Every structure is written in structure tokens, then in C-alpha cells.
Homo-oligomer: A and B are copies of this chain.
Amino acid sequence: MGPMPLPANHPWHASATSESPLIRAYTGRPVGERRPVWFMRQAGRSLPEYKKVREGTGMLESCLTPELASEITLQPVRRHDVDAAIFYSDIVVPLKVAGVDVDIAPGIGPVVQRPIRTLADLDAVIRDVPGPEELAAISAGVALTVDGLGSTPLIGFAGAPFTVASYLVEGKPSRDLLHTKALMHSDPVLWDRLLGWVAEVSLAFLRAQVLAGASAIQLFDSWAGALSLADYSTFVAPYSARVLAGVADLGVPRVHFGTSTGELLAAMRDAGADVVGIDYRIPLDTGIERLGGHVPVQGNIDPALLFAPWPVLEAHVRDVVARGAAAPGHVVNLGHGVPPETDPTVLTRVVELVHSIAPEPAAAP
């Protein structure tokens, strides 16, 4: 089936979030009085309240239980006063919803029982793209969350086709993605079918979130940085572009992010991103420059600095904020996810600091 049609009264149109600092920054408008900040992986293992509600429930089960997914999504907003929630999920959730035999093994990550290396493997795995019934738990979780958030926007979440497909090919997390890279070069037909299918599944997952009330989306291509620019452009960007184009009619800002992507930033923008997330490896102003200076950005506090003495972290946050002024919009975030070992009080303090810095750039730096 194709994408779900857009209902005339879909929630985000009427939402109070379009004038929120987050959406203003994502769309290149002045943010008003509050500089927006949130953290990738803000929901999850860094929070004791998360560990408590997750107790006894598997990762994927928690993502597919609307009340639980919603509660986990809301926890960091309550605790840290961040300017956005991001829907609690995992990049393999849409695969699970589509009927793939995938699980998340504690301490390991996504594990696929039958890795895809041949067309026969793919045929054995491919299912119909999930429709509204299969995605009902996602839609319900999002709707509950949006109700709880009020004027704070919710960001819809999905993995990009390359990163999601890499788990299907490798069968488990892999440092160098050799099977995946070998496959893209040695069997372009299988690659196209695999990535095309994953793109459709990710798109259905994202559309369900926006239609249920998400005000923006972020597409995570976590492992894109393992590729050369040439391979990224040929074998990866076209499928990410399908997902990003597939939500264009919904009118929400589309954020695109990956790590080690310093050489890929312009190509990620060209895939159809309205906002590009920048990892911590590259100074933010250098990243903005590589994007041509006219693209809103998100990032890029080094998560390692969350373990530094406060004055070091504070100076770093102020530096990131100052460098972000070169972009038409800047949402403060980490340059990678919150490490599980992070002291959550440090994150709260970072939010307070960011909110204390006047949004308009100082006259003379």
C-alpha cells in the first residue's frame, strides 16, 4: 500500500507547537525569548525513572506499549525542561511491526535471526509495508504523548534506510559493516530492493507519527559516516531522499543526522533535509559553512564533556552556542546520544545554561 492520506484535520495543523522555539529554529525564524535545546537519547538509560518503568519489560515491547512509550518519552521533558520530546522508539521497531524476526539483545543491540545476504534471504523476510492497523500502537503512543506535551513539540523518530538495512545484513551490530558494504557493491539489484523496502517501512513509521501529532521528524543515519562520499551518494542518499520526500506533504521540518558525517553534510542536506544535525567531531561553524551557511542546524555538544568538570562543560556549551549563530537557526543538542552513564543532573544544568543565554547573538563577539 502507498502512504496514508493526509486527513483534513490532522493534529499538527492545529497544534500550538508551530510557534515553539524548536519549530521556529528548525524553520529559520527568530526563536523568541528561549533558545531551544534537547538531547538525542534524552529518554532512556540515563534516567532512574526510565529504569523503573522499564523493569521487566523488553525493549521492543516497551516501544510498542503506548502508555509506556509515552511515559518514557515524557520523562526527560518533565525532568530537564527541554524544548522537545522525541518519540521513544528504536530504529528496528518498524521492522518488528513489519513482521521481521528482530529483537534487541541487552548489552548487544539489534539482532536479526536470519541476516540478508541473498535475494532468497530478502524474499523470506520482506513483508507488506505496515498499514494503520499494524502501526496502531505507534499512533496511540504518539497521540498520548502529544496530549501530555501541550505546547512542547514532539519529534517523530526513524532510522534511515542504510542504517536500518545494515542490521538486516549484518545480523548484529558491527563496527565496519563489511557485509553491508560488500552487498551494495556486489549485488546492486538486491541492494535496491532491500533499501527500497526499508525506505517504505521507515516512511510508513514516520507518517504514522506525524499524522498522530508529531511536529517534526528526525531521520537517523547513524552509520552513514562509515561510508565514503561517493558510496553515500550512490547507494544511500537516494533511499533517504525517498523517505524525506515521502513526508514532504505533511509540512513538518525534517532533520537528518548521522555521526562521522563531516564529509557528507552537504549530501545529507541535498537528500531533502530542512535541518542537518552535526556531530561533535566537527566545529559547529565549520559544519555550517560546509552546508553553505543557509541551513538550520542542530548540535553539537561533545557528550564526552558531560563527564568534565562544570566550568569545562559550561565553556564548551557557550562555545557551541556562539558558533551556532552562523546558521539561520540553531537547536542546541549533543553531537551524539546521551551516554547511559550520564549524570542526569548535568543535563538539567546544561538546559538551564542554554536557556540563560540570550537568543540574539551578542553585538561584538
Residues of A within 8 A of B (CB): 175-176, 178, 181-182, 184-186, 225, 227-231, 260, 262-263, 280-283, 286, 302, 304-305, 307-309, 312, 316, 335-336, 339, 341
18 CB contacts below 8 A, A to B, read A175-B175, A176-B339, A182-B304, A184-B304, A185-B304, A185-B305, A185-B309, A227-B281, A227-B304, A228-B281, A228-B302, A228-B335, A229-B281, A229-B283, A231-B302, A262-B263, A262-B282, A263-B283
On whether the beta carbons of A225 and B281 are closer than 8 Å, the reply is yes
Q: Which residues of the partner chain B approach A280 to less than 8 Å between Cβ atoms?
A: 228
On whether the beta carbons of A185 and B263 are closer than 8 Å, the reply is no
Residue of B nearest to A335 (CB): B228
**Which of A231, A283, A335: most chain B Cβ within 10 A?**
A231
> Complex Cα distance A308/B307, Å?
42
On whether the beta carbons of B263 and A186 are closer than 8 Å, the reply is no
Q: Which residues of the partner chain B approach A339 to less than 8 Å between Cβ atoms?
A: 176, 178
Q: Which residues of the partner chain B approach A230 to less than 8 Å between Cβ atoms?
A: 302, 316
> Complex Cα distance A181/B308, Å?
9
Q: 4 closest A-B pairs (Cβ-Cβ)?
A: A181-B304, A185-B308, A182-B307, A260-B260
Q: Which residues of the partner chain B approach A176 to less than 8 Å between Cβ atoms?
A: 336, 339
